[in-house]
Amino acid sequence: MENITVNKEFGSAPDVEIKRSKHPTEFSVHELTAGSGPVVSAGSTIEVNYHGQIWQRLEVFDSSFYNEETVEFPIGVGSVIKGWDQGLVGKTVGSRILLIIPPEYGYGKNGMIAAGIFPEDVLVFIVDIVGVKK
């Protein structure tokens, strides 16, 4: 994507630069690094590292890279935001994925105020898929 630059490779905390521009309104998925491991399927549990920023304010709101711990959760079954369910199913272990998530694919019209995410915020996630369990 021309308005975003992600420095660093899979496995390392990303440096994300977002050029000041009108925020996107469409959900999009970009494979930055293609993995060669097993494919993530709906209903499986994935292990990831992730980095989340808000497009409009260029703020990081959460990053497992900073905690130095991966996280696991079911994917494709409604346990996470719609953008993750739709953007990560079908990808492979070892992939670094860029997700651009408008509100309707994120936290919706209520946002997630406790995390600093307002209803109109567009979310940018860098997700490294570390593992998958069927």
Number of domains in the chain: 1
| Residue 20 covered by a domain | no
Asked whether residue 6 is domain-assigned, the answer is no
Q: Looking at residue 45, which CATH number applies to its domain?
A: 3.10.50.40
Average pLDDT of the residues of the chain: 94
Domain-embedded: residue 10: no
In a domain, 81, yes or no: yes
pLDDT, tens digit, 9 for 90 and up, residues 43-89: 999 999 999 999 998 899 999 999 889 999 999 999 999 999 999 99
- As a whole number of angstroms, the distance between CA 121 and CA 84 comes to 16
Q: Place 23 in a pLDDT band, splitting at 50, 70 and 90.
A: confident
Asked whether 130 and 93 are in contact (CB, 8 A), the reply is yes
Those residues whose C-beta lies under 8 Å from the C-beta of residue 44, and which sit 6 or more positions away, are 74, 75, 76, 132, 133, 134
Structural domain including 62 reads 27-133
Is the pTM higher than 0.75? The answer reads yes
